[in-house]
Amino acid sequence: MRDTEREAALQQGRRNNTITAARRCHECNEEALGHCPDCHKGFCQDHFPKQQHSPCAENQMRLAQTQVCYVCGRQVYPDQWSLSRTSHYIDEFRCNGCGRHVCDEMHTRRKAENISIIREGLRGHRYQSTTRYCDLCSPYYRIGGIKGLTRWVVGVGTIVAGVLFYLRP
């Protein structure tokens, strides 16, 4: 009996002495305020933009020639930034339907803001991302653009082929 009481007291002491460590910025060891959607590492408000932390800044420099609007060839700059400790904005400058880069001025036909709130301990982070559709994908934005339309056509074609194969004598 004494052993179980002693063990219960030790466990209670361990529970009281545990300290939850805050996540740290991957660059400067300050408190991390948000996760980068590309490299999935935690960063402070100063290092959250893609150009300010090492894994994504190097990728941005490497991909600079390929990040152009597929229609007009104008350079696009995917970006992310933080307005406060819990509010983060992400803009990939990609069409959500076909996945190609598209410029904001001339070739973004439909643009919407998606807000997701991610709880982390007692704090909640608000990630606001921009969803774009180009001229080709805009009429089909409800089903996911050109890629969504292709998935639907393949699915319906597979069902029709299965029914015809099953009914064929």
The pLDDT of residue 39 is above 50: yes
DSSP the chain: -HHHHHHHHHHHHHHHH--PPPPB-TTT-SB--EE-TTT--EE-TTT-SGGGSHHHHHHHHHTTTT-B-TTT--B---EEEESSSSEEEEEEEEETTT--B--SSSS--EEEEEEEEEEETTEEEEEEEEEEE-TTTGGGGGGTHHHHHHHHHHHHHHHHHHHHHHH--
Would you list the DSSP string of 49-95? SGGGSHHHHHHHHHTTTT-B-TTT--B---EEEESSSSEEEEEEEEE
pLDDT, greater one: 25 or 110:
110
Residue 133's pLDDT is 95
Average pLDDT over residues 49-74: 84
- 66 pLDDT band, cuts 50/70/90, is confident
The predicted model gives 139-164 an average pLDDT of: 95
Domain extents for the chain? 18-137
| Average pLDDT for 1-11 | 69
pLDDT of residue 154 exceeding 90: yes
Average pLDDT over residues 25-30: 83
